[in-house]
A = this chain, B = another copy of it.
Amino acid sequence: MPRTMKAAAFVRPGRIELREKPVPEVGPLDALMRVTTTTICGTDVHILKGEYPVAEGLTIGHEPVGVIERLGSAVRGYREGQRVIAGAITPSGWSNACLCGCGAQDGAGTAHGWKPMGGWKFGNTIDGCQAEYVLVPDAMANLAPVPDSLTDEQVLMCPDIMSTGFGGAESGGIRIGDAVAVFAQGPIGLCATAGAKLKGATTIIAVDRVPERLEMARRLGADHVVDFSKADPVEEIRRITGGRGVDVSIEALGTQATFEACLRVLRPGGTLSSLGVYSTDLRIPLDAFAAGLGDHRIVTTLCPGGKERMRRLMEVIAAGRLDLGPLVTHRFPLDRIEEAYDLFSHQRDGVLKVAITP
């Protein structure tokens, strides 16, 4: 094993650069993963732009596929050389939040055991995986072996966007026969669309304005697509549902406009399942909310993590229920990651997700 490695580090707003950093030391509960494939997330672009602050020099990235290079002294149940993934969220397993089934808000190390977004560590509070190696904390809770039958790219969406998108469908409580609207068909919205179908929704309405994304939404499960640049999506969804509205709406962009539209298309008693990362205060219009008397629910979901979650998502792929391969539209070696950021952050060339290979 080498002593140093290449890693994409945050320098300052507007600048992520490839650096030479030491390969991490392995603590008793950790595992060192040699990254074989990773990707860039919309959140990474927020970091790049300085909209989400992280420490100078931090390695970015939270979607690792790789091979176990070294195991901590207290880690059992794995072997070096094993192909594994870890989730974007790496719950400790032992905080109060984790013991309540809420590992995304893992407060390991705090007085009471809860911390907002505390489960998101990679590329946020510890070094991430856009690097040759990444240290996985609480390895026994987080390393999920990859079935031999699946390629790196097939499982590349599991750590974050598939878990998040499906989480939106799950938190929404979608039931067989539901009508569901999904606002925005970026990678997470597309996974929410796919998740809605897997949960049994029968009227799935995907909203976006990029034709390729709407086309992909159809492939992944949408029964109807609405191009919001051509028609008012609230009116369209009312029309499609015969005036009834949807049982569940999923927000997958993070703007006031989509949040508000999600409320307006709900039937009374419906659920708005929010996945977006917002950058401004949100406004709930009085009328769309029935003044508080509509039995509405608004639920938010941060990407569920942990090895059991990863196992289940890989099962979905392995069983052929869903093929997210087509979401990988571009490929770059780690050496050219700055170029990949440039393409991805400007959403050029129909990019959905890029595969990065160290």
Contacts and interface: CB of A to CB of B under 8 A. Distances in A.
Contact of A202 (B28, B107, B296, B315): B315
A15 interface: no
Nearest to A98: B93
Contact of A176 (B166, B244, B280, B295): B166
B74 A74 contact: yes
Contacts of A296: 299-300
A99 B177 contact: no
Chain A contact residues: helix, strand, loop or mixed:
loop
Nearest to A267: B114
A36 interface: no
Contact of A268 (B77, B114, B223, B280): B114
Interface in A81-114: 91-94, 96-105, 107-109, 111-114
B269 A292 contact: no
Interface stretch (A304-312, A329-337, A349-357): A304-312
Given A105-B295, A141-B99, A315-B203, A117 B290 contact: yes
A338 interface: no
Nearest to A317: B202
Given A277-B293, A282-B289, A292-B300, A102 B269 contact: yes
A296 B133 CA distance: 34
Interface stretch (A54-62, A193-201, A228-236, A340-348): A193-201
A296 B117 CA distance: 11
A24 interface: no
Nearest to A198: B200
Given A292-B300, A299-B297, A177 B313 contact: yes
A37 interface: no
A2 interface: no
A55 to B, nearest CB: 19
A148 interface: no
Contacts of A103: 99
A307 B108 CA distance: 13
Interface size band for A: 35 or more
A306 B333 CA distance: 44
Contacts of A111: 242-244
A100 B311 CA distance: 12
Contact of A269 (B114, B242, B254): B114
A151 interface: no
A286 interface: yes
A3 interface: no
A300 B307 contact: no
A274 interface: yes
A73 interface: yes
Given A77-B109, A278-B292, A283-B283, 4 more contacts: A91-B99, A96-B307, A99-B141, A297-B297
Interface of A: 27-29, 73-74, 76-77, 91-94, 96-105, 107-109, 111-118, 120, 138, 140-141, 166, 170, 175-177, 195, 198-200, 202-203, 223, 241-245, 254, 267-269, 274-286, 289-302, 306-309, 311-313, 315-316, 318-319, 321
21 contacts: A29-B29, A92-B93, A92-B140, A94-B94, A94-B141, A94-B307, A96-B311, A105-B267, A114-B269, A116-B290, A116-B293, A117-B268, A117-B293, A118-B268, A170-B176, A198-B200, A200-B200, A278-B286, A293-B300, A293-B302, A295-B302
